[in-house]
């Protein structure tokens, strides 16, 4: 049986991992800057969307800036990422694997509609500054 301390740590870690996953969605939608978004990844992090992979925090930052400049996400785009049904398991005290469904909505200020949906497979690691995204695999459908 797990000790109360280990159960409390597990709950705290689960909360921190979920918070990071949700913060990524909110920052992508414009509630944070592109720099804040990129800082949620490890320095060597991977953002693996089909046909648009990014490796390394600087490439992830460049991708975030590019997506915002195209107007499809970020402030004024009236888009939202919704993350749901997140489940996770831990591979030791400093690594988590989380699986989530996601939906991407457009026209949220007038007639919200789902543009895309899919699945995230995230690998997160504990760093000296807290949990960070080491790898995000994005699938559609």
Q: What is the pLDDT along the chain (141 residues), one digit of tens a residue?
A: 568 889 999 999 999 999 999 999 999 999 999 999 999 999 999 999 999 999 999 999 999 999 999 999 999 999 999 999 999 999 999 999 999 999 999 999 999 999 999 999 999 999 999 999 999 999 999
pLDDT of amino acid 5? 84
| Residue of 40, 91, 82, 89 lying closest to 61 (CA atoms) | 40
- Domain 4-140, architecture per CATH: Roll (3.10)
- Report the chain's terminal Cα–Cα distance, integer Å: 40
Task: Give the pairing of strands 41-48 and 130-140.
Answer: parallel
Structure token digits, residue 78: 């009236």
Q: Is 95 exposed, middle or buried (0-12, 13-18, 19+ CB in 10 A)?
A: middle
pLDDT of amino acid 76? 93
pLDDT of amino acid 104? 98
Query: Which one-letter DSSP state was computed for residue 79?
Result: -
Angstrom distance (rounded) from CA 81 to CA 106: 9
pTM for this model (two decimals): 0.93
């Amino acid at each position: 049986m797990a000790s109360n301390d280990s159960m409390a740590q597990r709950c705290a870690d689960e909360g921190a991992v979920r918070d990071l996953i949700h913060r990524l969605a909110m920052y992508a939608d414009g509630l944070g800057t592109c720099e804040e978004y990129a800082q949620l990844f490890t320095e060597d992090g991977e953002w693996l969307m089909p046909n648009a992979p990014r490796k390394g925090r600087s490439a992830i930052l460049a991708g975030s800036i590019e997506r915002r400049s195209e107007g499809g996400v970020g402030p004024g785009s009236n888009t939202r990422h919704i993350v749901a049904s997140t489940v996770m398991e831990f591979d030791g005290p400093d690594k988590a694997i989380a699986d989530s469904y996601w939906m991407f909505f457009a026209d949220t200020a007038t007639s919200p509609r789902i543009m895309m949906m899919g699945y995230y497979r995230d690998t997160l690691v504990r760093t000296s500054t807290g949990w960070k995204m080491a790898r995000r695999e994005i699938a559609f459908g």
